[in-house]
Structures are given as structure tokens and as C-alpha cells.
Amino acid sequence: MNDDTIMAGSQRGQGWRRLALVLLAAAAVGLPINTLSAFAVLMLAVVVAFSGEVARQGGRWCAAVVILVLAMALQTLLAPPRIEEGHNVFLPSPALEAALPPAVYREMLTAFEARHPASCNPNAGGCWRGGLPERAYAFSADGIWHDTDLSRSATSLYLYDPVRFRLGFINELAYNWYGDQAGLERAVRDRRFWMGFQRWHLTMPWFVMARLPAAYAGGHVCWRGTVLWENEDGGFDRLPHATDACRDITAGQTGRRVFGLDVAPESLTLRVQPPPMVRLQRLAAPLIGMLAVVGLVVVLVRVRWRRLVAPLLLLGLALLVIAIDDASFIGGLRPFDGGDDGLFYDGVGRNILRFALAGDWFNALKGGEAVYYYGGPGLRYFRALEHVIFGETYFGYLTLVLVLPFVAWALFRRFIDDKVAALALALVFVAIPVGVVFGTSFLNYAQWASRGFADPAAYIFFIIGILPIVGMTDAGPSSRLLPAFGGGLAMALAIFMKPIVAPACAVLLAGAGLMALYRRQWPRLVGLCVGFAPVFLITLHNWVYGGVFVLFSANAAHPLVLTMPPSAYVAAAGELLHGAIGSETMRGVWQILGWLRGPSESYWAVPVSLAGVLVALHVVLRGRGYDFWLRLIAGTALAQHVVGLFYVSTARYHFLAWFLTLVVVAVWWQREAAPWLMRRYPQTRRPYPFVTALHRLHTMYAGHA
């Protein structure tokens, strides 16, 4: 079996077995997967499974099921007692005044009014008075799988950083404060590049309340800041406001409420240390889950250790890039910017989840809008599903982003003859941000994904969909139904996330469909059509809820988005025909220059971008000199570039067009430009240490060492 075949997972049933292994591993660690350790173990298990071969023998699968059942039984037996925890933003509101103990409410109100003596107009957009808490304790996705009347029940309480404490309410749509009229600030960003792990500082006033179970007697509580502990009379004792003070937990103090107040930003730390037996339970339960995942991999996977080197290198570099930019994306919950897309999508996603949990599927499927208008409709539903599986983290989107280096590498390997060059390009794409000048870089996608925008998700789904549509090897795509269905579905998801990718999807699917028709590959044709069909659920939603026919989203013709409509080009042509260079002509010139600025959004990049577009055009027109599927990708890139001629020249709108152009230019360079340079300058043939190291790395991955 050759390396490309293994890499594509094209052995019959291998993909399904890998998926089954991932599901078993997720069941072993348990839902929600909201701790960094559980996510890391699952991520490594996925890399090992996709780099090796998953067994098909029934005996091995029976052993895997036994491991899972045993692990779940032990986790249930050794489950530590849970701390009931509630938290919420503090804003002067009737709901909080009625639900909280009077002493606690007065304490926070006094501190709030001292820090914020001025208010804002509740009718002004972005004012904090526009949305007040409606219940004492906020909804938390961490509490879905463990019923509680508060926000969540947890096995530990260790508050040292609000971002790492994962306070879901900070991204509720009701707290969309922005602009000078907000009256309150949501968060402060530290822009120093070495502060990735402490990038965000929450400035929203908030509080936390905990009820400690009886098993915590004999432990202790440590704190800094304002802490109020309920006494036996039902009143509250204010603990000394000290730095790193601690207090033993007695049997009479368990079950009583402990409030921590963080009205002054980041003034509170709170750590509950249980007695030794509970501490052992807290360690044992997650450890059993992780050992079960290891056991599943040992039983089911034929590990190819040398093939792990390159994937782990890509994964490590990707995580490093994300951590430097914003480490809160890895296990934290950053406060999205007020007025930004991220806050809208997550806020609506949280509302969708609440409707679904209440059984109100009509409003859950509505998605916050009768007619989709705000950006892409899909990310809000993705966020809701993400919170079900990953709790109050963004591990779902992080997973999607971490898939990008691997699908990009697979795409480079598919078309670049020199596999070492393909690996080098993948490493450069991930680790060295030269793509911000041309072709985009992994950093582009990571930055916008961490901000909660839909654009990276749309582009990643599109790139994922390319692989089954064009095939993973030089032999071309499979004629079977399922791969084609997967490719079509990925294209539908890409449009669902961001309809701006529709031109690229149309050209790619049309070309693939016509080729399937020409070759009479009827199962493949059916798969493409059926897989793509769900995209019209967007239109159905707009018709059912809004009573209007809108294909995707209603903002497509908004003048702030459609900055250069076709009519403007007609007017510009009229000016030129009359020998004048008027306002419409200059408007068109600036539109074209804005498009050609590319990912860097700098005018000095215009010649490089223009050269890339011309290379893509050259590949399309070259005929049989290039593989049909590469020419189709070049045509897809050009179709997506057309969007840049009409729509606003924001770099993130056009990442996909430039990435596809990069793929085409890389192949052109390898097949035409580089050979010409080597013939003209023979000294470029000499080996360099970096190239030699890459050859060794690829040899290890290919399994020929």
C-alpha cells in the first residue's frame, strides 16, 4: 500500500473505524470535554489513530468495549462530590435584588456605585442598562450534563483568572456593551506579543457563589479580595480582605453559601482545597478516563511511530502560534469585543441552546433571526452544539482550526510532485507568517477564529471538502457515493458558515459534477447533489420564519458590503467611453486595488497579488499541461476572486481566494518556474541543511527510513 493511500484513509472502512474510536475515547473521558487535559488526550488519540491503522477484528473491538465499560464504572464509583456553584454579572437590577441575600446585594451595590457613579442612556446602543440579569445565577453550558439549580456543579473550584474560570455569561448577547456610550467596559486586551497566556483581563463586575458538600469538611478555603460566608444565623460574615488568606472548613460550615465578589476588576481569587480523600477522588476519576483512552489506542491502533513525527510537529507549531496570539482560545473563555461578530454568534448560540434544552425547537431552529441577515447563519448553531459537547470552552472551533494544517498539507501533497516541498510548504504555512503577504497564513485563520468570526470556519470546511471532490491521489476522486456526499456536504457547511464562498462552491461542484456526468459515475453525481442539498435549508428557514424568498442572507446587497455593484462598473465604463475619468472610474480603481492588496491589506503587495491571479489564469488556460482538477481549483480561485471586485475589501472576506491561488502558484512554481531557474542558475541545485532535514522528516513520515 503506498503512502498516499494510507494518508487518505482510503482503506475500506478505515474512516468509520477511526470515527468509532474517537467516539469511544470521548465517552471514556465523559461529557462535557471542558478540561485541557481531557482535550489534549483526545487530540493525541486522534492524531495517533489517523497516522496509523485501526483494527477491524471483532475481538479487539470487544476488548475496547470492555475497557470503556470498566472505565465508566470506576469513574462512577470514584466520582468526587460536586461543588454547587453559581455566578453572574453584577448590575443593579430588580432580579438580583430580589434573589440575592440583602447583605450580599448591598455590598456589591455599594462597590459598584463607588466605581461607576455615572450611568448611560439605556436607549443608546451599547449601554449596559440595555440588558440586565433576569435571574440570580447565569446559565452555564458546563451544567448541562450535571443537573443543578445554580450555574453548574463542578469537582473543583480554583479561581485565579476569570478567563480560565470560564464564565459563560460574559458573552451573553444582553451584555453587548460597546462604544463611548457603554458606561462599562467589558475587558482589556494586553497587546504585548509575549502575553498570550494573559492576553485578556475581564473588567465586567461579577460574583460567584459556592455551596461546599459535607465531604469537604477538613479542607480549607484560600482567597484574596472580598469574600462573604454565610453563618449559622443566616447572615453573612465578611472574611478579612487579605492577600492569600486561608480558612479551615468545619463540618458546620459545609452546605452554607460562600460569595466571592469581583466588582473591582480581577480583585478576587478563590481556591477550595478538599481533604485528602476527596483530593484522591478528584485525581482518580479523570486519570481513569485518560488511561482508558490510552488503552483503547493500544488495543485498536497499529501505531506507526515514525509517521507521528510530522503530524505532531504540525500540531505543536499550530498550538504555539495560537498560544502566542491568544492562549485563551486553548481552554479559556475570552470576553468577545462588544459590537463584534464573535459576541453575536456566541450570544445567539447560547440562546439556541437554552431554547433546545427547554424543548422549544421552533425558536431554537429560528436562530435569533426570522430572515438571516447578520453574516453567516451557521456559526450560531455550531456554537450551540459546541457548548453541548465542550461546555464553556471553544474547543469545538479550536478543533476545526487545528484540522486546517493537516488538510492544507494533504492538498499540497495532492498536487505538488515533490512531497518534501509539500511538507515544507505546510510547515511554512503554519509556522512562518509569510502568507500575510500572499496566500494567507495559518495565523490569519487562528486570529479570526479566536475572535469568534465565521470566516475561518467557512474556509476550513471548503478546504476539507476539496479533498474528496478532487481526490487524495493522482488517480483522481473516487467514483463511490460516500466520498462525493462528504465533499458536497462540506461545501454546504461552508456556505452555511459564510455565504460569500458560494461562487467558489458553485464552480468546484459544477466542474466535478460535469466530470462525473462525462464519466458516467452516477453514484458520485448523486452523492455530490445529495450532500450539497442541505444548503437550501437556509432558504427554507427564511421562507418559513420570515415569509420571504432570500437565498442565503439579506445583507448581500447592503451598501456597506456591496461597495461596488455592477451598476457602478457600467457607470465607470460610460465615463471612460466619454474620455473622462470621473468618480465612478476612480471608485472602481480603488476597489480593484483594495482587492489586490490581499491578506496584508498593503498596497505594496498589489504586484505580487496580481502576479498570482495571472498565474491562476495561465493554469486555467494551459489546457492539458496541467491536471484537470488543478485547473478546476484555479478556476474556483478566479471565481472567488470575482467577489473582491464587488464586495468590501476586508482581508478576511477573501482568505479563501488567496489560499486557493497559493496552491495553484505553488504547483506552477514547482513545475515551471523552479525548473527554469535551475536550468538558468545551476548553483541553486546544491542541498541546504533545511532541505536535508525536511527530506529526513518526510522519509520518516513515509515509513521508508
Q: Give 98-110 pLDDT, tens digit per residue.
A: 999 999 999 999 9
Is the pLDDT confidence value at 244 over 80? no
Is the pTM for the entire model greater than 0.75?
yes
CA of 633: how far to CAs of 337, 408, 421, 466, 670, in Å?
36, 14, 19, 9, 17
Specify whether 504 is located in the same domain as 566.
no
Is the pLDDT confidence value at 255 over 80? yes
Specify whether 29 is located in the same domain as 173.
no
Query: For 468-480, what is the mean pLDDT?
Result: 92
- Percent pLDDT > 70 in the chain is 95
**Where is the domain boundary, 538, 571, 586?**
538
Residue 500 confidence class, pLDDT cut points 50, 70, 90: very high
Specify whether 361 is located in the same domain as 471.
yes
Residue 25 and residue 293 in contact, taking contact as beta carbons nearer than 8 Å: yes
Residue 226 and residue 209 in contact, taking contact as beta carbons nearer than 8 Å: no
Rounded CA-CA distance 106/208 in Å is 15
> Is residue 238 assigned to a domain?
yes
189-228 pLDDT, tens digit each = 888 877 777 889 999 999 999 999 999 999 999 999 999 9
Instruction: Return all residues near 565 (Cβ < 8 A) that are at least 6 apart.
Output: 557, 646
Residue 538 and residue 552 in contact, taking contact as beta carbons nearer than 8 Å: yes
Specify whether 261 is located in the same domain as 284.
no
What does the pLDDT read at residue 692? 58
Average pLDDT, the chain: 90
> Is residue 477 assigned to a domain?
yes
Q: Which residue from 442, 464, 456 is spatially nearest to 662, judged by alpha carbons?
A: 442
Beta strand residue intervals within 395-460, DSSP E: none
Rounded CA-CA distance 367/540 in Å is 13
- Bridge partners of 303, per DSSP, are none
Rounded CA-CA distance 9/105 in Å is 59
CA atoms within 13 A on the CB side of 590: 12
Specify whether 162 is located in the same domain as 129.
yes
What does the pLDDT read at residue 685? 56
Q: Sign of dihedral through CA atoms 89, 92, 93, 94?
A: positive
Instruction: Return all residues near 135 (Cβ < 8 A) that are at least 6 apart.
Output: 88, 95, 99
Residue type, 319: L
Query: For 492-519, what is the mean pLDDT?
Result: 96
> Is residue 370 assigned to a domain?
yes
The SS3 assignment for 152 reads strand
Specify whether 681 is located in the same domain as 568.
yes
Specify whether 286 is located in the same domain as 383.
no
Rounded CA-CA distance 297/24 in Å is 10
Residue 429 and residue 592 in contact, taking contact as beta carbons nearer than 8 Å: no
Rounded CA-CA distance 570/79 in Å is 70
What does the pLDDT read at residue 686? 55
Residue 420 and residue 688 in contact, taking contact as beta carbons nearer than 8 Å: no
- Locus of grid cell 459534477: 513
> Is residue 349 assigned to a domain?
yes
**Where is the domain boundary, 273, 290, 325?**
273
Angle between helical axes of 628-646 and 502-518 (0-180°, round to 10): 150
What does the pLDDT read at residue 7? 43
Specify whether 32 is located in the same domain as 110.
no
Instruction: Return all residues near 634 (Cβ < 8 A) that are at least 6 apart.
Output: 616, 617, 619, 620, 626, 660, 664
Specify whether 208 is located in the same domain as 285.
no
Rounded CA-CA distance 432/410 in Å is 18
* Residue-number span of the structural domain to which 160 is assigned: 83-273
Which grid cell is 523? 453514484
> Is residue 544 assigned to a domain?
no
The number of folded domains in the chain is 4
11-28 pLDDT, tens digit each = 678 889 999 999 999 999
H helix runs in 578-688, sequence order: 583-596, 606-621, 628-646, 655-668, 674-680
Query: For 497-506, what is the mean pLDDT?
Result: 95
CA of 280: how far to CAs of 40, 121, 155, 198, 703, in Å?
22, 52, 12, 30, 42
Residue 704 confidence class, pLDDT cut points 50, 70, 90: very low
Specify whether 440 is located in the same domain as 469.
yes
What does the pLDDT read at residue 181? 82
H helix runs in 256-275, sequence order: none
Peptide bond into 32 cis (omega under 30): yes
Is the pLDDT confidence value at 705 over 70? no
Angle of CA points 468, 470, 474, to nearest 5°: 110
Specify whether 151 is located in the same domain as 31.
no
What does the pLDDT read at residue 672? 87
Residue 75 and residue 290 in contact, taking contact as beta carbons nearer than 8 Å: no
Query: For 306-335, what is the mean pLDDT?
Result: 93
257-270 pLDDT, tens digit each = 999 999 988 899 99
> Is residue 701 assigned to a domain?
no
Specify whether 73 is located in the same domain as 90.
no
How far from the centroid of its chain's Cα atoms is residue 136's Cα? 30
Rounded CA-CA distance 335/67 in Å is 39
Which grid cell is 429? 504555512
Angle of CA points 628, 632, 638, to nearest 5°: 145
> Is residue 704 assigned to a domain?
no
Instruction: Return all residues near 428 (Cβ < 8 A) that are at least 6 apart.
Output: 434, 435
Residue type, 138: A
Is the pLDDT confidence value at 154 over 80? yes
- For residue 429, the 8-state DSSP code is H
Is the pLDDT confidence value at 157 over 90? yes
Q: In residues, how long is the chain?
A: 705
Which grid cell is 594? 483594495
How far from the centroid of its chain's Cα atoms is residue 391's Cα? 14
378-391 pLDDT, tens digit each = 999 999 999 999 99
What does the pLDDT read at residue 694? 52
> Is residue 186 assigned to a domain?
yes
Residue 6 confidence class, pLDDT cut points 50, 70, 90: very low
What does the pLDDT read at residue 3? 46
Is the pLDDT confidence value at 699 over 80? no
